[in-house]
Amino acid sequence: MIKIDNVLLAEVTKKAAASARLRCNHNFHKSYAEKIQRLLNAANPGTYIRPHMHRNPDKIETFVLLKGKVAVFEFDDSGRVSDYLVLDAAKLNMGVEIAPGTWHTFASLEQGSVLYEVKEGPYNEQDDKKFAPWAPEEGTEESRLFLQKIIAALER
């Protein structure tokens, strides 16, 4: 039995806080070849995941909130936010499923946030993600500004 409890969440959030990228994955799958990839994704405000889609093969991706507050965004082909949901237990918004071939990302809105993520496998680093051409690369000043812009849109 794999147990997802406060001990595990504390461990993964501590690693995320210490990471330069402000996030940390904890994989439950034993191999990237498995047909279902399951993991915890701990993320803190300021972390940036470049918007992407899963193509060739197309894959469904599901996020379920376990702790904290996270905004999940979908984008159209020009980079405009087409839909979003703030995952927040207090509002009973617990998860989302992203359709194959959809540009998406998420942003942590609260320190120590944790998502349970499920995605079809297998995972191949070379072709798992198709990054949006309109989205800045991770680690750039542009990515910091892009993240601020999409989060600011939530406040309207």
- Domain regions of the chain by residue span: 6-155
- Residue 20 CA to residue 4 CA, distance in Å, equals 25
Instruction: Using alpha carbons, select from 101, 100, 69 the residue that is nearest to residue 85.
Output: 69
Instruction: Using alpha carbons, select from 15, 26, 27, 20 the residue that is nearest to residue 112.
Output: 15
- Residue 147 CA to residue 145 CA, distance in Å, equals 5
Ramachandran angles phi, psi of 7, nearest 5°: -65, -50
- Residue 60 CA to residue 121 CA, distance in Å, equals 10
SS3 131: strand
| pLDDT confidence of residue 156 | 53
The DSSP call for residue 26 is E
| pLDDT confidence of residue 77 | 96
Q: What is the pLDDT along the chain (156 residues), one digit of tens a residue?
A: 999 999 999 999 999 999 999 999 999 999 988 899 999 999 999 999 999 998 878 899 999 999 999 999 999 999 999 999 999 988 999 999 999 999 999 999 999 999 999 998 888 777 788 999 999 999 999 999 999 999 998 865
Q: Residue 149 is encoded by which pair of tokens?
A: 């812009």
- Residue 142 CA to residue 156 CA, distance in Å, equals 22
Rg over alpha carbons for the chain, rounded to the nearest Å, is 15
| pLDDT confidence of residue 46 | 96
Assign domain 6-155 to its CATH architecture: Sandwich (2.60)
| pLDDT confidence of residue 127 | 76
| pLDDT confidence of residue 56 | 73
Q: Residue 13 is encoded by which pair of tokens?
A: 């959030």
